[in-house]
Structures are given as C-alpha cells and as structure tokens.
Structure 1
Amino acid sequence: MPAVGLIESCLRHGQQTLLSSRLRTRHMVTLAQELDASGLAGLEVFGGATFGVALSNLREDPFERLRAVRAATSLPLYGLIRGQSLVGSRPVPDEVVDLFIATVAELGLDVFRCFDPLNDLRNLARVVAAVRASGKRAEAALVYTESPVHSADGFVRLGVELAGMGFQSLSLFDPAGMLGAGSARAIVSGLVTETGLPVSVHCATITGQAAFAYLAAAEAGASSLDVCLSPLAGGASLPGTEGVLAALRGTEMAPLVDPSAVLAAADTLDALMPLYELVADPSGWQLDSSTLRTQMAPSIQQHLLWECAAQGVGERIPAVVEEIARVRADMGYPALISPVAEVVVSQAVANVASQDRYLIVGQDLKDYFLGLFGAPPGPADPEIRRLVIGTEEPITVRPGDVLEPMLADARRRMVKHQLGDPSDEQLLEFVLFPEATAATMRGDLQGERLGDEPELAAAEEVQVAAVVDGGDLSEPIGDAAAIPAPTLPAPGPVPVVEETVPSREFTVEVDGEVFEVKVVARDAGFAISGVAPRPPATSGGGAVKAPMQGLIARIPVKVGDHVEVGQTVAVLEAMKMQNDIPSDLAGVVQAVNVAEGQVVSRGDSLVTIA
C-alpha cells in the first residue's frame, strides 16, 4: 500500500473556517516558505470565501496573494473553485470562467479542485474544459451529504461520470463532517476501483468522526488527505497535520513528510495566532454533535442565528431547525453548503416568521426552482415548485447557457465610473465583487487592521478621479446583477444570563459586520437571549401588512388599481432576498402606505384595499 499524501489546507480552509478568512498574505508567504521542503503533497491556498474577504475586508488583492505564495514555494498549489460560480455565489457566463481559469493558471495554481453545491455535472463542464486547456490538473470534488436520495453507490457513479468528463483526480468533500468510517471506506474503494483516479478526502472534524473516516479512507486506497496545522485544526476545520502524521507512523501508509518542518511551521503559526484573537471564535474549535442531526456546518449555523435574531424568531430556533429539514426535502435534498444552504435557511426562517409556509418567497428560491442554480439531487416537490414559481417553466439546459456575455459590459462600466482601463485581473475582480473592487481602485476602502499594524493609508498607486455621472455600481452587469443587500439593524444588546443557565456564544458575521450573539438553553432547545418573538402579522381590516422586517424594493400597484387574491402588491427585501408580498384580499387599492426605499417593521401596513 503506497504512502498517503498530506495536503496542507490551513492557508485556505483552516483560516476560512476558524479565522473568518482573515489570514494575511504576508503570513501565508512565511508559512509557505517554511513548508517548502516538507514533502507535503500540496498547499491549498486559493478560492472559497477567502477571495471575496481579501478584497472586501482586508484590501488585499487575491491574485497578488496567489502570485506571492507561488514565488515562496515549489509545492503544488491547490485552489477551491465553485464550478460555474468560480469564487462567487451565482453562475457566471462561460467567457468569465475561461478568463478566470486562464488567469489563475498563469499565476501558478497547479490543481483546480472544482465542486458544484448540487453535484450538477453540467455546472462543471465548462470549468473542466478550461482547466484542461490551461495545462493544469482538474480535480472534481464530490460534495458529500446524507439524505434519502444519496448513497455510497450513487457517489461512486457520480465519480465515474466526472472521470468521463475529463477530471484527472477526485476529492470526497465533506465540509460538515458527516462522513463515517463505513461510508468513507465504501466510497473511496468504489471510486478507486471504478475510475482508477487518485482520490483525496476532505472531512471536517466538527462531529468527531474525521479521524476514523481518514483511517478508513487511507486503508481503502485514498491517495491523499486534507489536513491543517494544529493551531488551525479541529472543530469546523480539518484534522491536525501533526496528529495524522504521527498516527500513520509505522504503517505502510505513513506519509513521506518531514515532521520537523511541519512542527516548525506549526510553531510559527501558533506565534501568529494572538494577532487574530478578535476574529478567532473559540467555539469554532469545539465539537458539535448537533451537526449529525442538522447537517449544518458552523458557518451555516451562524447564518441561521443571525437571521432568526433579525426576524424576531430567536425563541423559535428549534422550530426553524425542523423547518430547514422540511424545506430541504421540498427542494430535492440539496447539500447544506453555500450558497444553497443560505437559500434553505432563509426560506425556513421566513416560513416560521410568517407562520405560513411559502407565504413569503425569496428571489433566490424562485431561481432555484427555475433551475438557475442547477438541477437538484432529487425530485423537488411539484406542489411547492408550483407555489413558488407559478406557471413559469424551469430551464432544462445548463445554467451557464442562459447567461449573456458580461466582460465587455463590465469594462464599459469601469470606464464609465472612471476606474481606468482595467487589467484582466481587475476586470475579473470587478465582475465578481464590483463594489469592493471599485472602492479599492478609488482608494476608498480602508482594510481591517491587525493589532500590530499601523492604520493603513489610502491606496496611493491608483489615482482615480471622482465619479462624475453618479452611476450606481449596483447596476446589473449582464445577467449577474450585483444588488446590495438591505442593511438590517443588528440584534439588540444581549442581557446578562445567570451562570446556572447553559449558554453558548457566537460571533456572527454578516456582510463584514460582526455581531455577538448569546444562545441560552430553554428547556428542550436553545434560544437567542433577549430576543422575543413578535406577534404574527395579519392582513385584516383591508390592510396588507409586512410579514417581516425589511426594505421596500418596489410597489407594483397604485391607488385605484384592482387587485386579485394572491396578486403581488409589494416587494420586500429581507434576509438577502426579494420577497413578493401577495394580497389576501380582492378589491381596489385605496392607499399605498409606504414608499420604495422605506424600511418597514413586521406588521406595518403596506397597502389598504377595499
């Protein structure tokens, strides 16, 4: 049995899960240099949420980061690519995929680990073609999850199809830590036998199963395992590099890695950790067996807590968790991984908040049922689909096929906003993250600072005049609109809870803004302390009322219009979704009580109908 390789992932996965993607480029370079002669199978350094955070929060260029790390080490560099969505949350046109892959390949990324949240092979077709054209290695990540429509045999069949598409290696990818030893052995053994390709395994430690899954996978023929240096290992992250190395010592599978180099790098990282104490949430390193029931990784749990607090259902978290399972079933059992997980959670919160399932439906859920994210793993509930999209027909083609080219339009907008003639890297950053890129190029973005850093000065290398025409950067680029989410008020102060009451504290980050949330045990479940449920909304007395807090995006009716039951009378932006508010009355609009752009609370009267 050959030696198993170790892929060091603290520079991407570890820092994303435990440091909110805040690891600085200079520290990544230092660690890459120390690990250069370690014998590791590779370093994961690029992609995922780290790309957007580097731009939006750190004022660091993710392309420059890759260039710097490439210069610091000769080890193979890995990057995580979300299929047709690349490093964003929505699919982009093929021309963007081609340019992005070619650019990143030229900068030195060696292995493109590509996944689709729905395991829809169509969303990986263009990516694998682009990677192969660049001369780099295309690795397909099979997103592991458990449901009535998923099985070990099904994952093996999926791997066979991916191999047939041209992928040169496979990764069993489990960010929620659901993979047990039996499943790991069955899937890895099947993939190795049926495809003949190298198979790596990536399994979070959050549920406590990862060590057993890794041993079973290695014995079944896995070629490599994803690990993290101990300061960024455990909990929501991956098994520790040092521990895995020690555990396999003396076996046929023992990695050919220099332990002294690994220990030295771990010591260096450990010395840097105090600089990140403001973003390092200790709960991220803990085991959480509830994930075995919910299949929600910690980042999704934080999203759940924030939305429950924002919508006034903090005392009903157990009900929301149950509703998440129902919504997931309605949607065909997608894996609870970004960005689909946020769609599931947001809809579940809306269902509980409105006390009427699918009364409020967000645009993202509509797009999901229209097939714009891809095909669900299992059949979606036809009645729920009809309720959500009405008579509209889902697309039957690859989502990328319905997207118009956008690079020329993006370049035009950059010129319009006086951002100069962009390089390919700047153009790609603007397409994927327009507001952060524009702010950086203007010198308006002030990056976050570590405790040992002086206050950063505005960027001096880019001299850009002020915008003359006052254009709006939220203007859509082709079919990928960059519409900023409404700013919702933060949860109120959390009162002090007596020490006799069990509680957990979470640091919740939403669009770069950090909130502290304390969750206090209440009988059989948990509740957000200090957040009381709001009274249910009603539409009596001729008034259509807001079912939740949000921003009025559009009023499609006016005084004198005749409306039917179920007709949309307002569009409310909340929880990063646009929600159609239907009338439950038939009649004539007597008054429109709100204006577009106005923030409303739950129960506020929107339209009066008689």
Structure 2
Amino acid sequence: MTNVTLIDTTLRDGNQSNWGATGLDTGMMLEIAPTIDRIGFEAIDFTTSTHMAVATRFTREDPWERLRLFAEATPNTPLSFLTTGMRFISWEVASEEMMDFAFRLLVKNGIRRFAVMDPMNNTPAMLNMAGITRKAGGEQIVAALTFTLSPVHDDAHWVEKTQTLCASGKFDKLYVKDPGGLISPDRAKTLFPALKQAAGQVPLEFHSHTTIGLAAFSYLEAADYAPCLHTSASAAANGTGQPDMLTTIGNLRDMGHTVDVDDAAVKTYDSYMTTLAKAENLSARGPGDYDRRYFSHQIPGGVMGTMIRQLRETKRDHLIPQVLEEVVRVRADLGYPIMVTPFSQLVATQAMLNVTSEERYKVVPDEVTRYVLGRFGTPAMPMDKEVEARIRDSKRARELEDEPRMAPLSELRAKIGKHYSDEEFLLRATMPADQVDAMVKSGPARRSYNPKTKPALDLIRELTSRKGLGCVKIDKPGFKLELKTGTA
C-alpha cells in the first residue's frame, strides 16, 4: 500500500473556513509551533495575502512578524503560501514587479513553499507565476488546480490542464484543490487515476472540504494516486474545512497505508486546539450534511463561513437560503467563474446585494465591474448578455475603464514614504493607511498563549472595566486573585 503524507491546514484554511480567518492570533500559533514541527507534516498551509490583511485589520498584528516568528519555531517543516492570481492583499490586479517584490519578502521572512493558483485555472498565467515564485527563491512550487463543476469542466478538461502544467517542468508537485468539497468518492475513482497518468512523474496532492460530508471518503479513494492529503486538527476541521487528521490517519492505516507521523505530537496538537477552541468559544463541527445544492452554488468553505458571519452580524441570517439560490444565478450570469478567491467572494457579495437591494444588479461592487471588464481574464463560458451590457454600460464601468493601473514601486515609495521597511511599505501600498497605523500602534504581538488561563483573564478584564471598584479579592483553594486600583 501507499505511504501517505499530510499537509496541515489548521492555521490557515481550517481557521478561515470555520472561524472566519479571525480565530487565531500570533501567540496562539507560536505556543503550539514546536509541537507542530515535531509531527512530520510535509508542509504547513500557513498563509495567503488575504490572511495577512486579516491579521493587520482585525487582530492588529504584524503578519510579517507572525511569519518570521513561526518560521523560526518550525525549522523542520516548510511553510506554504497560497497565491490567488496577480494580486496581493488588494483586489487590484498587480504588476509583475509588485508580485516579485512581495514573493521575495515572503521568502525572506520564512515562506519556503508556494502553491500557485490562478482563479480561472489559466495555465499560461500559472506557468508565469511559477517562474516568478521560483525566481524569488521558493524552494517548492506546487500547481494548485482548482476543481469546479460546470458544463465544460469534465475529466478530459482536467487531464488536459494537468498535462500542460506537469509537462512544463516548472512545478514540483500538483494538488487538486476542491474548495467546495464537490469531488465524490465515485468521481475520485475516475478522476485521480486519469490525473496520475497525465501528471507523469509529478506527485499529486488532494485538498478538499467536508462541506457536504464527502471529503473524508474521497480522500481514501484518492490516496493511492494522490498520496499527500490536506487535514486539520479536529477543532478546526470538518464543517466547511478539511477532514480531521486523527480520523484520516486512522482510516488510512486501517486500509493498510502508512502515515509516518509522531502520533504523540499529533494528539498533543489536537488536544491544544480543542482546549483553545473551547476557551475562545470557537465552534467545532462535524462534517457537513450532504446537501445537493452545493453542486450548484459551490461556495467554498472560507467564503461560506464569512458570508454567514456577515449576515448574522447584520441580523439577516434568515436570508441565507435566498442568497444561496441567488449565487447560482449570479455565477451563471458571469460565465461560470470558478468559485475560489477572488471570484467566490465576488459572486457571493453580488448575490447578497441582489437579495438585499430593490432589484438585481442595482448595486454592483467595483470588483464585479472589473471582472466584467475583463481585468481578471476570460471566463470559461460567455456571460449573460443583458447582465454584461448593464454593467459595461454603467457610469461606474466607464470610470473604471479609465482608472490608472497600479503605479510602479518607485512611485509608490515616493508617495507613501521611503522611511518604512519593505514589509510595512507593502502593507501600506495595498491596505488603508489607518488600518496599518492601528496595527503599528498596537505594538508587538503576544508570543505565548495558555487557553487554561482564559477564564481568569476574562474575569480580570471585566472587573477592571467597572467603575467604582477600589479592590477585589478572591481567595479559594487553587485560586487567589487580588486587584487594587492605583488610588485604593
């Protein structure tokens, strides 16, 4: 049988899919980093430019510092960065100069592996990106072929893409990226043998989501042909994330496969994440129920989690079924874009606006307009003529047609300021200045975390926030706390 290796997705995709990318901070990651490094993962799916933006915006932590510290704590395990086409943080299409600059900084700060994804599976674009990442110093370059369902995406289509990518000599591996969890066990039986033959000597990986409960079964069917599987610690697994690693390891071994990992370290990691999730009130889920609607709307795990969170925060979660139906319509209107970053976000956002506005396409985000204008390439199928015409003929479309493209780095430097480090400059070039200012003002991130102290820390924060308390004293077996104000 096969020796199967694992990619850990807990910190990036598990966090994004089930916790809206905001569940973990730098201290939480660093606390368990040495244990993760002992496990024997082939790589750690660590970050994307979107995650770097989230760290800056929501936790007010320097994503470059997080990367450096974690890379230092995990010297034996490569950290992986997932590209999302010609963009970095900003939705604006970036220049090759900008992408080269960003990738060199990623390598400098600890990224060793690049998973090269193009949101339209544009093979020339992927080959070009592979060259940029290799030139920047990436040690391992992996083609991320994004799976989808549409009238044109059959097995022959995927075989052709695989042959082109793997015959180029630019990629060390290829992974099938199934963001919607759409590959069933039956589809895996036919798809992966065909892809294995098409890939030749290039090894395959498989990355899927348990959104409708298929991934754990499909992994077992694919393991002989794609003997590297993407899994998460159980607290961040399942739901709209990846299968959990403990169960996957057990199932693989039961089938006769070998999985060469440090079992004790895996259990320690899993226990830590479970305790953390409980302390931070982060949801832990089982595999999603089988729902045939996913084969239509195909919203990937991370976007589904974010969309649900946004609707709940605005007290409109009762609209979720309507939005999902509208996603299907919008995707068809836009020529069946692959439901992966950034298109899954664009389609989901447009669907939400169509449902919550007076009429469909009354409000169109700039990025949807840029998509229609062809900034992201050509979709697999023609767009709906009426929708395309409505957007193209809008006043905003004409304004965006004339908008200047991203300025050269030298001009951006002159505009933003030359006294910033390269890392901070890149954040300021792609994010609002006030968000970066708030991050800098917050200072260095905490470097440790103990989930067992969370209740006590919450109590302290609550007590110290109350006015009129001069002294608080709690003394009981195993716990002693005394707080005094400066004037008490």
TM-score by length of 2: 0.80
Rate the CA distance shift 1:282–1:42 in 2: closer, same or farther, 3 A. closer
Correspondence 1:241 to 2:245: yes
For residues 319 and 365 of structure 1, the distance between their equivalents in structure 2, rounded to whole angstroms, comes to 20
Correspondence 1:37 to 2:42: no
Aligned partner of residue 260 in structure 2, secondary structure: coil
For residues 350 and 26 of structure 1, the distance between their equivalents in structure 2, rounded to whole angstroms, comes to 37
Alignment of 1:379-390 (within 5 A): 379-390=382-393
User: Which structure: larger Rg?
Assistant: 1
What residue number does 2:207 align with?
202
Rate the CA distance shift 1:39–1:313 in 2: closer, same or farther, 3 A. closer
For residues 138 and 301 of structure 2, the distance between their equivalents in structure 1, rounded to whole angstroms, comes to 36
Deviation at 1:215, TM superposition (A): 0.7
Deviation at 1:209, TM superposition (A): 0.3
What residue number does 2:7 align with?
7
Alignment of 1:539-558 (within 5 A): none
Rate the CA distance shift 1:185–1:101 in 2: closer, same or farther, 3 A. farther
What residue number does 2:109 align with?
107
What residue number does 2:20 align with?
20
Contact 2:81/2:114, CA 8 A, preserved across alignment? yes
Rate the CA distance shift 1:90–1:158 in 2: closer, same or farther, 3 A. farther
Correspondence 1:160 to 2:158: no
Structure with the higher strand share, 1 or 2: 1
What residue number does 1:256 align with?
260
Deviation at 1:27, TM superposition (A): 2.5
Deviations 1:575-599 (Å, cap 9, x if unpaired)? xxxxxxxxxxxxxxxxxxxxxxxxx
What residue number does 1:188 align with?
192
Correspondence 1:430 to 2:428: yes
Deviation at 1:414, TM superposition (A): 2.5
What residue number does 2:480 align with?
none
For residues 442 and 243 of structure 1, the distance between their equivalents in structure 2, rounded to whole angstroms, comes to 41
For residues 361 and 255 of structure 2, the distance between their equivalents in structure 1, rounded to whole angstroms, comes to 55
Correspondence 1:322 to 2:322: no
Alignment of 1:407-418 (within 5 A): 407-415=409-417
Aligned partner letter, 2:152: V
Deviations 1:296-335 (Å, cap 9, x if unpaired)? 2354345655777899987765554333222211211112
Aligned partner letter, 1:225: L
Rate the CA distance shift 1:11–1:357 in 2: closer, same or farther, 3 A. closer
Aligned partner of residue 111 in structure 2, secondary structure: coil
Aligned partner of residue 66 in structure 2, secondary structure: helix
For residues 137 and 193 of structure 1, the distance between their equivalents in structure 2, rounded to whole angstroms, comes to 22
Contact 1:14/1:237, CA 8 A, preserved across alignment? yes
Deviations 1:555-576 (Å, cap 9, x if unpaired)? xxxxxxxxxxxxxxxxxxxxxx
Aligned partner letter, 1:127: M
Alignment of 1:141-160 (within 5 A): 141-160=144-163
Deviation at 1:148, TM superposition (A): 1.2
Rate the CA distance shift 1:2–1:317 in 2: closer, same or farther, 3 A. closer
Deviation at 1:377, TM superposition (A): 2.1
Deviation at 1:48, TM superposition (A): 5.4
Correspondence 1:217 to 2:218: no
For residues 108 and 447 of structure 1, the distance between their equivalents in structure 2, rounded to whole angstroms, comes to 17
Tell me, which stretches of 5 or more residues in structure 1 are unaligned?
456-610
Deviation at 1:6, TM superposition (A): 0.8
For residues 79 and 237 of structure 2, the distance between their equivalents in structure 1, rounded to whole angstroms, comes to 19
Aligned partner of residue 230 in structure 2, secondary structure: strand
Aligned partner of residue 14 in structure 1, secondary structure: helix
TM-score by length of 1: 0.65
Deviations 1:457-484 (Å, cap 9, x if unpaired)? xxxxxxxxxxxxxxxxxxxxxxxxxxxx
Aligned partner letter, 2:340: I
Structure with larger RCO (C-alpha < 8 A, sep 6+) = 2
Contact 1:42/1:77, CA 8 A, preserved across alignment? yes
Bigger mean CA offset, 406-415 vs 142-151: 406-415
Rate the CA distance shift 1:20–1:349 in 2: closer, same or farther, 3 A. closer
Deviations 1:34-64 (Å, cap 9, x if unpaired)? 1323222222222253211111111221111
Rate the CA distance shift 1:301–1:195 in 2: closer, same or farther, 3 A. closer
For residues 357 and 439 of structure 2, the distance between their equivalents in structure 1, rounded to whole angstroms, comes to 42
Bigger mean CA offset, 109-118 vs 13-22: 13-22
What residue number does 1:558 align with?
none
Alignment of 1:558-573 (within 5 A): none
Rate the CA distance shift 1:110–1:302 in 2: closer, same or farther, 3 A. closer
Aligned partner of residue 171 in structure 1, secondary structure: strand
Aligned partner of residue 443 in structure 1, secondary structure: helix
Deviation at 1:77, TM superposition (A): 1.9
Deviations 1:475-518 (Å, cap 9, x if unpaired)? xxxxxxxxxxxxxxxxxxxxxxxxxxxxxxxxxxxxxxxxxxxx
Contact 1:76/1:109, CA 8 A, preserved across alignment? yes
What residue number does 1:232 align with?
236
Aligned residues: 441
Aligned partner letter, 2:203: P
What residue number does 2:99 align with?
97
Deviation at 1:406, TM superposition (A): 3.5
Bigger mean CA offset, 282-291 vs 172-181: 282-291
For residues 265 and 316 of structure 1, the distance between their equivalents in structure 2, rounded to whole angstroms, comes to 37
For residues 314 and 427 of structure 1, the distance between their equivalents in structure 2, rounded to whole angstroms, comes to 38
Contact 2:91/2:367, CA 8 A, preserved across alignment? no
Aligned partner letter, 1:86: F
Say which of 163, 173, 177 aligns to 1:173.
177
Aligned partner letter, 1:332: G
What residue number does 2:79 align with?
77
Rate the CA distance shift 1:412–1:437 in 2: closer, same or farther, 3 A. farther
Aligned partner letter, 1:28: M
Bigger mean CA offset, 20-29 vs 91-100: 20-29
